[in-house]
A = this chain, B = another copy of it.
Amino acid sequence: MRPNDRAVDQIRPIKITRNYTAYAEGSVLVEFGNTKVLCNATVEENVPRWLKGQKKGWITAEYGMLPRATHKRTRREAASGKQGGRTMEIQRLIARSLRAVVDRAVMGEIMITVDCDVIQADGGTRTAAITGASVAMADAFSQLISAGKLKKNPMKGHVAAVSVGILGDEVLCDLEYVEDSNADTDMNVVMTEDGKMIEVQGTAEGQPFSHDELLRLLASAQKGIADIVQAQKDALTD
């Protein structure tokens, strides 16, 4: 039995609040149950030096976690003087996921940085971050279009993500912390809104997993992501 009587293939209640802060060109608080991530998209009208002159845009992401987003306090990365391996891994994943749904030639020489900061962590922060960042980026592009700085929307569609895992014999969708820390296998799946895959990262925490288990994980992820994409669309039409 999952917490709150969730069905095995049921995602947590999702809440997407746009314009959460006042200054960012796109600002989204995304909640997957108790996991809360603030995704702020910043537009800059230039690109990194190595890209200059190529008439293409760039999208990057940074990820952070407030020290007390977690049950026990985590040391502040700014105080320890470097970002840990997990942080780097996650922010690279978010950025790749966002770039996969954007036509960078349509962007022109514009850069978008999406800061994903975890306010409260209860499992699935990276997948929530990707989901929220997609909406924040969409808002940033809309604003560029309204301002006449872009003629056409460079986004080819939404990108959304979910974590799935195997606990005992069950495939569970959208793991929360207590589930995640007990799962034998944990997989993060990032998909486009039409169900194609952008990233699949499956890890055996305990037992290796079989080909059949992989297929069940993917099926569960696909269903969950369909629900998440719907939540993104609903948020953008509010």
Contact = CB atoms under 8 A, between A and B. Distances in A.
How many identical subunits does the complex contain? 6
Interface in A48-62: 62
A64 B78 contact: yes
Interface stretch (A6-14, A65-73, A124-132, A144-152): A65-73
B70 A23 contact: yes
A199 B192 contact: no
A64 B92 contact: no
A66 B81 contact: no
Nearest to A121: B23
A27 B214 contact: no
Contacts of A196: 204, 207-210
Contacts of A197: 202, 204, 208-211, 214
A42 B73 contact: yes
Interface string A112-128: 01010101100000000
A76 B200 contact: no
B208 A100 contact: yes
Interface in A11-29: 21-24, 27
A208 B191 CA distance: 8
A202 B199 contact: yes
A44 B68 CA distance: 12
Contact of A88 (B22, B88, B115): B88
A84 to B, nearest CB: 8
Contacts of A24: 68
Nearest to A113: B73
A201 interface: yes
Interface of A: 21-24, 27, 34, 36, 38, 40, 42, 44, 62, 64, 66-71, 73, 76-79, 81-89, 91-92, 96, 100, 113, 115, 117, 119-120, 187, 191-192, 196-204, 207-211, 214, 218
